[in-house]
């Protein structure tokens, strides 16, 4: 039996969303300083070929598309906000995205928004009236996995060239395969 408080929670959130990490899922990482990192300049920002069709498919299924991304290079002074704004304009021109949410925190802190905190997910949930039980989080890192756990949202690991060593039971090698994995729910 469902209690009256559970009925209120169930009825409050009606929409569904796909939460996407940005760097490594939507766009290629940049090789720098013996590792792979977020691009700091629009000229280095390259969208993966499977992103546009993926977004088109889920928009037709009435999912909101929300990017959730850590961008500590802003607070660390390694990237200018104007460059990030240029990247956002580029993303919004190329892709049908409903919202982009960033954490500029350089450290994980209590009450902060840097993933693995679920704060950005919960803020989007409230803004867009999202039922997290009908939504998905797609990412490419252990931090993304933890963020999804903290938000109690189903996570799918997107395998790319930089994260082949991460083990996770639900993973895809292409965004084009996501709909097959969650086909029973859409």
> DSSP secondary structure string, 115-174?
TT--HHHHHHHHHHTB-GGG-EEEESSHHHHHHHHHHT-EEEEE--TT-TT---SSEESS
Provide the pLDDT confidence category of residue 12 given band limits of 50, 70 and 90: confident
Q: Which residue has the tokens 């996501």?
A: 178
Let me know: does 158 contact 25? Beta carbons within 8 Å.
Answer: yes
Among 3-17, 61-75, 137-151, 165-179, which is the least confidently predicted range?
3-17
Q: Which two tokens stand for residue 171?
A: 């993973």
- Whether residue 52 has pLDDT greater than 60: yes
pLDDT digits (tens, 9 = 90+) for 73-83: 999 999 999 99
C-alpha closest to that of 115 among 44, 25, 48: 25
Q: What is the mean pLDDT of residues 131-135?
A: 96
Helix (H) or strand (E) holding 181: helix 178-181
pLDDT digits (tens, 9 = 90+) for 81-126: 999 999 999 999 999 999 999 999 999 999 999 999 999 999 999 9
Let me know: does 108 contact 114? Beta carbons within 8 Å.
Answer: yes
Q: What is the mean pLDDT of residues 8-19?
A: 79
- Whether residue 53 has pLDDT greater than 80: yes
Q: What is the mean pLDDT of the chain?
A: 93
């Amino acid at each position: 039996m469902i209690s009256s408080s559970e009925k209120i929670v169930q009825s409050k959130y009606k929409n569904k969303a796909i939460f996407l990490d940005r760097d490594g899922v939507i766009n290629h990482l940049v090789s720098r300083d013996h590792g792979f990192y977020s691009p700091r300049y629009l000229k280095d920002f390259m969208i993966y070929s499977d992103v546009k069709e993926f977004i088109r498919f889920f928009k037709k299924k009435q999912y909101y598309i929300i990017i959730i991304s850590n961008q500590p290079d802003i607070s660390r002074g390694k990237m200018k906000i104007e460059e990030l704004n240029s990247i956002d304009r580029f993303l919004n021109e190329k892709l049908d995205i409903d919202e982009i949410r960033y954490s500029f925190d350089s450290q994980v802190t209590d009450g902060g928004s840097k993933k693995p905190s679920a704060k950005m997910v919960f803020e989007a949930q409230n803004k867009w009236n999202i039922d997290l039980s009908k939504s998905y989080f797609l990412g490419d890192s252990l931090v993304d996995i933890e963020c999804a756990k903290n938000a109690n949202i189903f996570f799918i690991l997107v395998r790319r060239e930089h994260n082949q060593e991460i083990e996770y039971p639900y993973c895809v090698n292409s965004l084009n395969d996501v709909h097959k994995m969650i086909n029973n729910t859409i």
